[in-house]
Structure 1
Amino acid sequence: MTQLTPITRPVRAPEPQAQHLTRRQKAAIVVRFLLHEGAPLSLSDMPEDLQAALTQQIGQMRLVDRTTLAQVVAEFAQELEDIGLSFPRGLLGALNELDGKISAQTAARLRREAGVRQLGDPWDRLRALDVEALLEIVGRESTEIAAVVLSKLDTPKAATLLGALPGEQAGT
């Protein structure tokens, strides 16, 4: 009996499943991996329907073997490296990207036409403008509006703007 040798069965490595996964499943794996590793993730900028779909997919997932995980993470890293340039999503993203680069009138018109609400504090955006842009805005407005704009600026910028206004407009 001591000469019996146990029968050994070859252990088959689990077949990687990465090629059989959907993009949504792969995204769920990557997000779960990043969260597990403690990466600071903010998914709130994603459209709400994608946040919901991702959350549902994560809720449906169970176990993923190490080989599949490594393949999915490597594929994700490769896709990130292959990106040359990304554009903001939609008109609001484009307007935010071009803020201060296109005229305030064009931006306002595009927002109106698209029904896009401007987010954030308008006074902060106004304070960020240079004196040239402020001159253009104040020059089209009534004296009362110009006075309100001046009151919202820091003192040195308001003084510079007031000094750049035409004499009769500055004196009223």
Structure 2
Amino acid sequence: MNAQTGLNPRQKAAIIVRLLLDDEAEVNLEGFDNDRQTLLAEEMANMDLIDRQTRDDVISEFCDNLEAVGVTFPGDLDGTLEILADRLSKDATDRLRRLVMMSGRGDPWPRVTGLPQEDIQVLAENEAVELVAVMLSKLSVAQASKTFSALDRERAQMVAQAMAMTRDIGPQALQRIGLVLAQAADALPHPGMEAPASGRMGDILNFASSDLRDDVLDLLDREDAVFAEDVRRAIFTFAHIPERIDPRDIPRIVRAVDQQVLVRALAQKTEKEAAAAAFILTNLSQRMADGLREEAAALGTLRPKDADEAANEVVAAIRRLQMEEGLTLIQPEDDR
């Protein structure tokens, strides 16, 4: 083919791209690195007229090469990881990305911009302001705004001043800064368990009996008052409904609970639980509330265990709505 056309591979590629553009095909060259894109553009700029026979020969060779291909690989780590998707563990994926970045062949910025917000915030608060300014420039506007707004005023002003230095930054310097930030992120401590200990203890106590919950909190008060306070903030029980649930969400919650379970939960006699039951009834239609009151009164006095189990089912329904349908709990007063 070379003997017939006298064209090198780059010239042939330029002809194919030109033909695709003439045909208004969607041509995406972003998969090429910058050097290849530049060479292709230069080759197209240096070419003039191509006769019809040469054009047809190039097309035939291109089609023959396509038909001869059995299987293709991405040719880079990002494409390979996209193919493997969820088949690799997060640790293995992170390790591969680190190895490629250390070799200088990979782009560190997807790794940096994909960090959890809390890690980005730590970098913003501890790395050199010049690096932070570059990082904010690479983040989405929403991410950058959130990160910048959380900085203390003096550091935010320093980062803003450093932003002017990002105007003339070159590709190599950008690569090095991304690598530094990625390495700093890898050095951040990450606990094996995502949820804090107080949150896990609070979730457990949510569904314990009220007597056991009170005993445990009394013990924690004596042994570790700070931890005990954090656990209290994490606990959400039936008694917390008036202070943690928006009244407008009560009908939605009631629909998510079996009516017989709800009636048993509303038959609470202890002071705090009875106040929560009254809060629920107050925020329902009068007809529905009256019907539920009558059913609860007909139950008489429930065993504490039965009342606790029913109340816990209501709490479980609220947690499901929170996780699956976006129900928002009001934060305790001292957390705001």
Q: TM > 0.5 between the two?
A: yes
Report the CA distance between 1:142 and its aligned residue.
3.6
Native 8 Å contact 1:27 1:54 kept in 2: yes
Native 8 Å contact 1:88 1:94 kept in 2: yes
Amino acid at match of 1:23: P
Report the CA distance between 1:35 and its aligned residue.
0.5
Give the equivalent residue in structure 2 for 1:45: 31
Q: Return closer, same or farther for 1:49/1:94 CA change in 2, 3 Å cut-off.
A: same
Q: Return closer, same or farther for 1:38/1:59 CA change in 2, 3 Å cut-off.
A: same
Q: Distance in 2 between matches of 1:83 and 1:122?
A: 38
Report the CA distance between 1:113 and its aligned residue.
2.1
Q: Which of 195, 202, 205 in structure 2 is aligned with 1:143?
A: 195
> Structure 2: where are the runs of 5+ without partners?
117-190, 200-321, 327-336
Report the CA distance between 1:22 and its aligned residue.
0.4
Higher radius of gyration, 1 or 2: 2
Q: Distance in 1 between matches of 2:89 and 2:49?
A: 53
Bigger RCO of structures 1 and 2 (CA < 8 A, at least 6 apart): 1
Q: Structure 2-normalised TM-score?
A: 0.33
Q: Structure 1-normalised TM-score?
A: 0.61
| Residues 52-102 of structure 1: CA deviation (Å, up to 9, x unaligned) | 000000000000000110110111111111111110122222222212111
Identity %: 31
Q: Secondary structure at the match of 1:88?
A: coil
Matches within 5 A, 1:151-162: 155-156=323-324
Give the equivalent residue in structure 2 for 1:67: 53
Q: Distance in 1 between matches of 2:109 and 2:192?
A: 21
Give the equivalent residue in structure 2 for 1:97: 83
Q: Distance in 2 between matches of 1:89 and 1:46?
A: 11
Q: Return closer, same or farther for 1:91/1:157 CA change in 2, 3 Å cut-off.
A: farther
Q: Secondary structure at the match of 2:73?
A: coil
- After superposition, the CA RMSD in angstroms is 3.1
Higher percent of residues as helix: 2
Q: Distance in 2 between matches of 1:144 and 1:64?
A: 68
Q: Secondary structure at the match of 1:98?
A: helix
Q: Which of 92, 98, 120 in structure 2 is aligned with 1:106?
A: 92
Answering whether residue 14 of structure 2 is matched by residue 28 of structure 1, we say yes
Q: Distance in 1 between matches of 2:36 and 2:12?
A: 14
Q: Distance in 2 between matches of 1:22 and 1:87?
A: 24
